[in-house]
């Protein structure tokens, strides 16, 4: 057992700068994780005892008819409660209509994910070229891909309509776990999901369930290579929650595939920037990039931790790591500046001498 644990630690720390006290960093990350887990358990217990806890987080977004929506932190919250999530750097949507009876959204570019509040009295339509997705209450993703559109349903059901000119419109009904490219390849019309395909769909869902079960049991046994193999065969087992993505990143790192951990950590920062575990994801991303030799990118991530979460227990470590990265890049000016910042922020900090060595001040 000890040999397996030592091997995992060697895999995780391979390639990282040797000047770091890796064990201390791991203990700090573990303590942060435990503290957040305890806070979440206490929060859930409070809900059970009190009955109702209201948390209001409203992003004020100005939407004008026919004009591109400018999301705050990648989230557009509509007045009736539905949300649109996207990466502002690569995606754009236009909210064409937003009334009590109808919401119409036009996808300009990039992937956008929708969480629609159930409301039978309101039509909700998302259009991407000739493809229109109609919903009542569900969660799904729409992404233009060339002349076609990818639709992926996470929860509920959607109707996909493809306008095909003189041949009329074709429709398909997608349920949770279904996905596809529209218009269908080699066919101008999209056929409805037939009754005789129900058995095949059930079989696919059962295979997906078994894959998720296998993946989780391998993680519980700390069999990270097998879990990574399962994740490679079926990427959907990774999940979408912050916990799921952190675990998937660990599976990649601890199976000696650190580069594959990067997208999972980036998804947390893109899709869940306000989650209390986001600084941990950003810090872990910086460490992973450092191990991959992407020193400048790692330096930017450590700076992001300090700027975005200055009160995080990881902020001090992030500053030291940022100074080390600047020294490795030969950026003397940045290293001296970071040493001065450390003196101001942590006048009694235990790592002051370490930072000053990077700046060649001692």
In a domain, 317, yes or no: yes
**244 and 354 inside one domain:** yes
Higher pLDDT, residue 89 or 15: 89
In a domain, 283, yes or no: yes
| pLDDT score recorded for residue 232 | 84
Q: Taking the complete model, does pTM exceed 0.85, yes or no?
A: no
| pLDDT score recorded for residue 222 | 86
| pLDDT score recorded for residue 58 | 28
**260 and 340 inside one domain:** yes
Q: Is the pLDDT of residue 39 over 80?
A: no
| pLDDT score recorded for residue 273 | 87
Task: Report pLDDT digits (tens) over 50-68.
Answer: 343 333 332 333 333 344 4
CATH number at residue 116: 2.60.120.1440
Q: Which residues partner with 19 through β-bridges?
A: none
Q: Is the pLDDT of residue 134 over 70?
A: yes
In a domain, 205, yes or no: no
Q: How far apart are CA 328 and CA 286, in angstroms?
A: 14
In 100-197, alpha helices (H)? none
**35 and 79 inside one domain:** no
**28 and 87 inside one domain:** no
Range of the domain at 149: 75-193
Residue 71 — pLDDT band, cuts 50, 70, 90? Answer: very low
**12 and 119 inside one domain:** no
Q: Is the pLDDT of residue 82 over 50?
A: yes
Task: Report pLDDT digits (tens) over 331-359.
Answer: 999 999 999 999 999 999 888 899 899 98
| pLDDT score recorded for residue 319 | 92
**250 and 168 inside one domain:** no
- Residue where a domain terminates, one of 161, 193, 225: 193
Q: Is the pLDDT of residue 263 over 50?
A: yes
Task: Report pLDDT digits (tens) over 188-223.
Answer: 444 555 555 555 566 677 777 788 888 888 888 888
- Segment among 4-18, 137-151, 264-278, 317-331 with least mean pLDDT: 4-18
In a domain, 50, yes or no: no
CATH number at residue 13: 1.25.40.10
**37 and 105 inside one domain:** no
**36 and 105 inside one domain:** no
Q: How many domains does the chain have?
A: 2
In a domain, 206, yes or no: no
- Segment among 170-174, 246-250, 319-323 with least mean pLDDT: 170-174
- Residue where a domain terminates, one of 193, 215, 247: 193
Q: What is the mean pLDDT of the chain?
A: 77
- Residue where a domain terminates, one of 127, 159, 193: 193
In a domain, 18, yes or no: yes
**250 and 349 inside one domain:** yes
| pLDDT score recorded for residue 326 | 92
In a domain, 134, yes or no: yes
In a domain, 305, yes or no: yes
């Amino acid at each position: 057992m000890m040999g397996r644990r030592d091997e995992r630690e060697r895999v995780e720390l391979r390639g990282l700068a040797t000047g770091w006290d890796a064990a201390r960093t791991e203990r700090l990350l573990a303590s942060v994780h435990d503290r957040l887990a305890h806070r979440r358990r206490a929060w859930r217990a409070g809900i059970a005892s009190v009955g109702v806890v209201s948390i209001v987080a409203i992003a004020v977004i100005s939407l004008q008819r026919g004009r591109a929506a400018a999301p705050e932190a990648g989230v557009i919250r509509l007045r009736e409660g539905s949300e649109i999530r996207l990466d502002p750097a690569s995606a754009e949507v236009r909210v064409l209509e937003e009334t009590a009876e109808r919401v119409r959204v036009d996808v300009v570019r990039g992937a956008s994910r929708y969480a629609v509040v159930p409301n039978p009295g309101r039509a909700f339509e998302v259009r991407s070229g000739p493809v229109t997705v109609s919903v009542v209450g569900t969660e799904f993703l729409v992404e233009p891909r060339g002349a076609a559109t990818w639709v992926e349903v996470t929860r509920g059901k959607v109707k996909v309509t493809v306008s095909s000119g003189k041949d009329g419109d074709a429709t398909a009904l997608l349920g949770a776990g279904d996905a596809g490219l529209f218009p269908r390849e080699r066919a101008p019309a999209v056929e409805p999901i037939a009754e005789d395909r129900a058995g095949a769909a059930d079989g696919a869902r059962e295979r997906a369930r078994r894959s998720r079960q296998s993946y989780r049991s391998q993680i519980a046994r700390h069999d990270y290579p097998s879990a990574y193999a399962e994740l490679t065969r079926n990427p959907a087992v990774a999940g979408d929650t912050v916990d799921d993505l952190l675990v998937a990143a660990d599976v990649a790192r601890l199976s000696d595939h650190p580069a594959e951990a990067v997208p999972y950590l980036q998804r947390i920062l893109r899709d869940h920037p306000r989650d209390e575990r986001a600084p941990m994801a950003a810090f872990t991303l910086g460490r992973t990039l450092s191990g991959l030799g992407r020193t400048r990118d790692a330096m930017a991530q450590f700076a992001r931790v300090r700027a975005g979460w200055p009160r995080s227990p990881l902020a001090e470590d992030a500053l030291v790591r940022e100074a080390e990265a600047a020294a490795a890049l030969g950026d003397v000016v940045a290293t001296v500046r970071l040493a001065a910042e450390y003196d101001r922020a942590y006048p009694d900090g235990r790592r002051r001498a370490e930072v000053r060595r990077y700046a060649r001040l001692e």
